[in-house]
Chains A and B, each alone.
Chain A
């Protein structure tokens, strides 16, 4: 999903909803993390340890950060595919398959294994491609009215 409009775009200045912070003055914003994307070994990159907290998790994914499947969201349900041999999986991958005996959300996998969500998402995508996991992708982006009504009724019954 993209923003309908960029408030910084001079051709389409934001009209409603411009709150004071958009106009306020203040110190500039630090630009220290490199403009996102590949934390793989690149020339001029600081030695491991300096920005280790940001980079190290992605060692588990062989340095990949970008190729995450957009179908896999925080709440997406994942379950282990019965019968797939797990002999050649990494410890993290094996832990994920082990956790998913019952359906579990990607966010819960990430929290329980203390893996960064981005890392979890890539590993889950890999395991899905390799046939170890079933990822239950929803068909429509926004839930239908009937589903919302069920949530409303369910919440109302909570005391």
Chain B
């Protein structure tokens, strides 16, 4: 029969019935934090591997000022609004990796428990010409017990120091990997993230066996 009384109402693909139960089950989200000082290449890192252009969200961060001037003074806590760039990688329909780039401010130990809650680990991006910019991030992740990897970004051609010198300057534990990567290249960022994931896997195994 050629006659179609409702030519515009043919169903193409999957039908969506109003009020029907959930169509798409949401993916399980996992996240990795990309941290470091201003302008070290966090957004470049996120953008190199994200399947969407990095988006920005603004969020409150509690800043715990470090009493550098007057040790007797009580620690002051203030909140500040920071801009955070993020992107994502769909692993499969049921699993999605998010990458959150967070600024680190010198002279502040930032605490934002929401950010590390449930995070797999962190990549601390280091520019060797301003190595101290990443101290707050390293301190934070150490104290929070989050697996992290130090990634020296060689986007300006070459690292100014070798990795042993960077490790010495940061005084990170032996088991914290210090590596070189190039934030502009997807393969390089992927490999750095795989090292973070190795650390996360170690932690998950330890948690399971304990």
Contacts and interface: CB of A to CB of B under 8 A. Distances in A.
A107 B194 contact: no
Nearest to A5: B143
Contacts, number: 215
How many chain B residues sit at the interface, stated as a range, is: 35 or more
Contact of A108 (B55, B114, B200): B55
B98 A105 contact: yes
B56 interface: yes
B1 to A, nearest CB: 34
Q: Is the interface of B mostly helix, strand, loop or mixed?
A: mixed
A88 interface: no
A7 B142 CA distance: 12
Interface in B56-93: 56-60, 62, 65-70, 75-81, 84, 86, 88-89, 91-92
Interface of A: 1-5, 7-8, 16-17, 19-29, 31-33, 35-36, 53-54, 65, 70, 73-79, 82-83, 102-103, 105, 107-108, 110-112, 116-118, 120, 134, 136, 138, 141-145, 147-152, 154-156, 158-159
Interface of B: 18-22, 24-31, 49, 55-60, 62, 65-70, 75-81, 84, 86, 88-89, 91-92, 95-98, 100, 106-109, 111, 113-118, 120, 132, 135-136, 138-139, 142-145, 170-173, 186-187, 190, 193-194, 197-198, 200-201, 203-205, 207-208
